[in-house]
Structure 1
Amino acid sequence: MNKTIRRASVFCLLLVLALLVRVTWVQAYQGQALADDKNNRRNLIGQYENPLGNIIVGGEAITGSAKTGGKDFAYKRTYTDGPLYAPITGYSSQAFGTSLLEGVYKNVLNGSDTRLKTMMDLLTNKRADPGDVLTTIDRDVQKAGFDALQGKQGAAVALDPATGQILGVVNNPSFDPGRITGANDEEAWKELSADKGKALENTALRKPQAPGSTFKLVTLAAAIENGLVTDIDTPTGVKAPYTIPGTRTDLRSEAPAEMCNNVSARVALRLSCNNVFAEFAHRLGQDKMRAMAEKLGFNTQIDTPVRTNPPSSYPSKKMSVDQVAQTGIGQFDVQATPLQMAMVTAAIENGGELASPHMVSEVTDANGNVLESFKDTKSQRVMKEKTASMLREAMKTVVAEGGGRPAQVGGAEVGGKTGTAQRGVNNSLAPLAWFTSYGKLGGKQIAVAVVIENSDTDRSEIGGGKLAAPIAQKMMAAWLKK
């Protein structure tokens, strides 16, 4: 054979062998990785070729699936009371992906989770029947908060202090996730993304803001735990008027200075005396203040299983003495979500033990078999039982005699704390109105935190007791009086 032809033949044979090796490698070793690649359109089509599993509230599905009539995307997600439950479900969109519970449990809900596969599914390589996600949300609590927030921009979270079960997560404005489930909903997406995406913003779980005077509960807890306060009815010795340490600036309170002069911790909490709590923080110092905040969940990403990102925060960078004092009243760089402040109150109500907050009780397969269960409560002690008891006593006074009166629930024990937080350059924005509270009645208990960002109330009338406390009251009553 001609030498040139022989060399060409060998070269071609080597090319064929190289192609065979490559094909074998791709099919045998890389096939699954390519099949699972997020950019593989066949995966997206596969997610919607059959009805999806459902998210459940109180035994009833709040999601569903509808035929599209299309070839590639045979089904799309539907929602019952979409705006009511949007802060929990998130969305499942053929064009824009998934979020919140729809995102966390995407593989369970579309049948691709390997735990769902039967032996027949494995043999045929067929997508399994989808599973369901059972939530801890209580419909009555959720609706009470949703209805009460209409006309206001804000958010609320309700917890069962003993179990950590999240009973309600409410945002306003909200959105209807059913508007963006299809492959061609760009106009609806643009509308929801307008105004800096406020409709899609999860203020309840993922928007930390200055908590104002509601943070005084953390400051008082630190003061009691560190021996600075041993009796909530003993005068604190803190004078008013009060100059912020390291400055020449007087720190004012809503109450007249003479009413906040050398008062007890109970009176200071009821009147929200800034001088007392700023001085507590100054005496305790940054490290002790931060340690108490972190025990209660600050500076930690919390998976509910929806992740709180960014987390609520207490400053870890070195602060000046005046800045530390300001953190004692929930200002400077202290940031908290309604979920975080509900956790603070829940720990106080639960005798100093903080149960891990969660909004899912079980994840099941198509036959109801449990894949994951969150019914066994995980909790940790974050303060002494005596500390929690002293805090509850002071909080009850706020609701019985102070600005928290609108939170009273007939026949129930209710304690709370109002808050108003300054924001914007030179306080250019309307202040935030906060309220956090607990309620107990007949063996049932609940903790609620509410923040109001905007309302039609005159700026001079903005306050946690007036705007946020009535919303907490309705959510507490919905649970306690079932």
Structure 2
Amino acid sequence: MNTPLRRLATVMLVMFVALMGASTWVQYVKAPELNSDSRNVRTLYREYGNARGPIVVAGDAVAQSVKVDDSYGYQRTYSDGDTYSAVTGFYSIVHGSTQLEHAANDALTGRGDQLFFTRLRDLITGRKPEGAAVETTILPAAQRAAREGLGDQQGAVVAIEPSTGRILALVSTPGFDPNALATHDVAAASSAYTQLAGADGNPLRSNATLETYPPGSTFKLVTAATALENGYTADTEIPAPTVLDLPQSSATIGNFGGGGCGSDPITIAEALRVSCNTAFGQLGMDLGDDAIREQAEKFGFDSGLTIPMDVVKSVFPADLNAPQTAQSAIGQFDVRATPMQMAMVAAAIANDGVLMKPYTVDRVRAADLSVVSTTEPSVLSRAVSASTAQQLTDMMLGVVNSGTGTAAQISGVQVAGKTGTAQTTEGAAPHAWFTAFAPADNPQVAVAVIVEHGGNAGNEATGGRIAAPIARAVIEAVLNS
């Protein structure tokens, strides 16, 4: 009799342990995953039943929750939603969240670790929980200038404060109105999402941070930096033929318009001023792909980034032969960069060669207005030496003062910049690029602009003609604020 009882007791003990283990697994290990599952209606009701914190720009809420008379309790609303959509993203009961609404969700819902004592206080006092306010680095005047400058053209603008990494403008076009997705009408929200997801230009995806493009001649800044860091100077002369024959192939590189670059040989400074493709193609082959790649990585290429939204990696390709290296040195072949990345290149040069980590959140403030966290500026890398940064600055001044970027000139302000006109797929108009910083002697802002496929100018577009005026407007907005 004892043996059967012992066996039964053992089975019961095993079942009890299994039950406790399963409960522990579900309640503790799987809890975060279950809570974040969009199908978990309890999570939706819990989140919408409390006031979600606002996303704030210069003291004004551009995203906030308002009390409504339905089963959810609060609804998200956005002011000037199209202008700030690349910053805020959306928050939807059907399709989840994107951009800051997603990246800062723990703070906005009040569930972040830094808000533990706030939650404890609310529990003790019986106060209804509220999310924290996320105060951004965005400068309204710069954001509006970028949005108005792009107009109905598809593209992006990023503006950064070089000395800190604070992002002053982050715009992607076409934008969208997050209010259409924030509605509690499930059918309407789903319909709006379907229309946006299928619209030209994919408005829901930020071109500033989640899309990469061939950077074209703006990448010549990286190639020039590589040369200066490896013994060349701005006055070093390099070959500049009208057509560069590429070894190991029948391919060639020509210059914009099919002409020469004024002289052959040409100094590196002059080659940058007139954006000489053949000179930089030859320079790239002389330097080698490994050296250019190493320099690109110091500027942030081939590394992921969060601001705190995710920024996709910009890429300088591996294992290049000589012709591919020549093409890559002028920002073509398989070189890909986000507008964020090219703004970082300009910002690093502006900041004496030191690249600061970009960020969009200044501070998080609890519902009682106490500051619970503040973003401190941090160094991402030493991109180039101070001497190289100064030489690049002087060369970029030449681009704007008398080169391809004269449309970025501002009276009384020295603007340092670089144009780019990037070839894309065959038959498609080129992308128009411009990256710059100002004032050159005391940089307050670095900016990158891309207008996809030449915007309204199409095949007639150049970076100097189409993108440079937008950059100028953003720079003026920052300097006048």
TM-score computed with the length of structure 1 as normaliser:
0.90
Question: SS state of the match for residue 206, structure 1?
Answer: coil
The one-letter code matched in structure 2 to 1:211 is P
The one-letter code matched in structure 2 to 1:205 is T
Question: SS state of the match for residue 86, structure 2?
Answer: helix
1:248 to 250, 267, 273: 250
- What's the offset of the Cα at 1:379? 4.5
- What's the offset of the Cα at 1:108? 1.6
For 1:327, the equivalent position in structure 2 comes to 328
Distance 2:88 2:261 in 1: 50
Contact 1:260 / 1:275 at 8 angstroms: preserved in 2?
no
The one-letter code matched in structure 1 to 2:373 is E
Contact 1:434 / 1:449 at 8 angstroms: preserved in 2?
yes
Q: Return structure 1 stretches of 4+ with deviation > 4 angstroms.
A: 13-29, 32-35, 120-127, 441-444
Contact 1:142 / 1:170 at 8 angstroms: preserved in 2?
yes
Contact 2:254 / 2:278 at 8 angstroms: preserved in 1?
yes
Matches within 5 A, 1:206-285: 206-227=210-231, 229-230=232-233, 232-254=234-256, 256-257=259-260, 259-285=262-288
Distance 1:387 1:435 in 2: 21
For 1:366, the equivalent position in structure 2 comes to 367
Distance 1:65 1:123 in 2: 24
Matches within 5 A, 1:58-73: 58-71=58-71, 73=72
Deviation string 1:213-243 (CA, Å, 9 cap, x unpaired) is 000000000011111x22x234324433321
Question: SS state of the match for residue 313, structure 1?
Answer: coil
Distance 1:327 1:105 in 2: 37
The one-letter code matched in structure 1 to 2:323 is D
For 2:54, the equivalent position in structure 1 comes to 54
Contact 2:357 / 2:377 at 8 angstroms: preserved in 1?
no
Distance 2:393 2:443 in 1: 16
Contact 2:414 / 2:441 at 8 angstroms: preserved in 1?
no
Q: Aligned pairs, how many? A: 468
Matches within 5 A, 1:441-456: 443=442, 445-454=444-453
Matches within 5 A, 1:165-180: 165-180=166-181
Asked whether 1:474 is paired with 2:478, we answer no
Question: SS state of the match for residue 42, structure 2?
Answer: helix
Contact 1:116 / 1:130 at 8 angstroms: preserved in 2?
no
For 1:345, the equivalent position in structure 2 comes to 346
Asked whether 1:31 is paired with 2:27, we answer yes
For 1:99, the equivalent position in structure 2 comes to 98
For 2:73, the equivalent position in structure 1 comes to 74
Distance 1:416 1:182 in 2: 43
Distance 2:332 2:112 in 1: 45
Contact 1:360 / 1:374 at 8 angstroms: preserved in 2?
yes
For 1:193, the equivalent position in structure 2 comes to 197
Distance 2:283 2:422 in 1: 19
Contact 1:296 / 1:344 at 8 angstroms: preserved in 2?
yes
Deviation string 1:34-92 (CA, Å, 9 cap, x unpaired) is 65413332112111012210111112211111233222x11121111111111011111
Contact 1:134 / 1:363 at 8 angstroms: preserved in 2?
yes
CA 1:463–1:307: 2 relative to 1, 3 Å: same
Stretches of structure 1 lacking an aligned partner (at least 5 in a row): none
For 2:44, the equivalent position in structure 1 comes to 44
For 1:399, the equivalent position in structure 2 comes to 400
CA 1:207–1:412: 2 relative to 1, 3 Å: same
Distance 2:307 2:132 in 1: 19
- What's the offset of the Cα at 1:348? 0.9
Asked whether 1:111 is paired with 2:110, we answer yes
Question: SS state of the match for residue 387, structure 1?
Answer: helix
For 2:208, the equivalent position in structure 1 comes to 204
452-461 vs 186-195, which moves further: 452-461
- What's the offset of the Cα at 1:112? 2.6
The one-letter code matched in structure 2 to 1:348 is I
Distance 2:121 2:388 in 1: 58
Stretches of structure 2 lacking an aligned partner (at least 5 in a row): none
440-449 vs 176-185, which moves further: 440-449
Contact 2:174 / 2:201 at 8 angstroms: preserved in 1?
no
Question: SS state of the match for residue 465, structure 1?
Answer: helix
Distance 1:322 1:377 in 2: 38
CA 1:268–1:120: 2 relative to 1, 3 Å: closer
Contact 1:76 / 1:94 at 8 angstroms: preserved in 2?
no
Distance 2:291 2:405 in 1: 28
Question: SS state of the match for residue 51, structure 2?
Answer: coil
The one-letter code matched in structure 2 to 1:280 is L
CA 1:168–1:332: 2 relative to 1, 3 Å: same
Contact 1:112 / 1:127 at 8 angstroms: preserved in 2?
no
Distance 1:459 1:21 in 2: 69
Indicate the RMSD between aligned Cα atoms, in angstroms. Answer: 2.6
Distance 1:337 1:209 in 2: 6
Distance 1:399 1:119 in 2: 57
For 1:298, the equivalent position in structure 2 comes to 301
Contact 2:138 / 2:167 at 8 angstroms: preserved in 1?
yes
Question: SS state of the match for residue 418, structure 1?
Answer: strand
CA 1:49–1:16: 2 relative to 1, 3 Å: farther
The one-letter code matched in structure 2 to 1:283 is D
Contact 1:111 / 1:127 at 8 angstroms: preserved in 2?
no
- What's the offset of the Cα at 1:359? 0.9
Question: SS state of the match for residue 244, structure 2?
Answer: coil
Contact 1:116 / 1:129 at 8 angstroms: preserved in 2?
no
